[in-house]
Amino acid sequence: MAEAIKRGAKEGLGFGIIAGIIFAMMEVVGAAMMGNPPLMPIRMFASVLLGQSALEATPMGTAFIVGSLVHMALSGAFGVVYGLINARFSPETQTRWGRQVGIGLVFGAMLWLVNFQIIARALYPWFLTTPQFLQMMMHAMFFGLPLALMYAGAERRIARPLRPIAHGA
């Protein structure tokens, strides 16, 4: 069990960063599609560390670097949490695509719930100016889902090691 937890945390870190990149790209696309400045999501990420001034007063270069670092650090941390949770599930649950899709979607929605409806209400009220249902869907579809699929794929490779090729068959 300790090895599974260690592996889950390690995989979660990497997969969380990759899912975070997917999520950030979709946030940028979504902002542009809604007629907002495309890099506003990066400024929002930066505002976690720099405060509300990151939305307008902070130079874009600074906001981009800080926002990217904050977002990747949080994405990696959330990926670790996902990996630690999943390490406690049965191997069947860890390797089943359908189960992981459900777990990933719920995990993404729960991230939105905690980050927007609890933390942002207390510390970052400007996060609540974005359409909340859309944000919940973005977290579920473009962070939780890719994270779950990467995790399931990795677990399937571990659970089903390659069989040696039979000679003369």
Q: What's the CA gap between 42 and 60, in Å, rounded?
A: 9
Q: Examine the pLDDT at 134 and tell me if it is beyond 90.
A: yes
Q: Which residues contact 109 (CB under 8 A, 6 or more apart)?
A: 136, 139, 140, 144
Mean pLDDT across 108-114: 98
Mean pLDDT across 86-91: 91
Residue the block writes with tokens 């670092």:
69
Q: What percent of the chain has pLDDT over 70?
A: 93
Q: Examine the pLDDT at 51 and tell me if it is beyond 60.
A: yes
pTM assigned to the model: 0.88
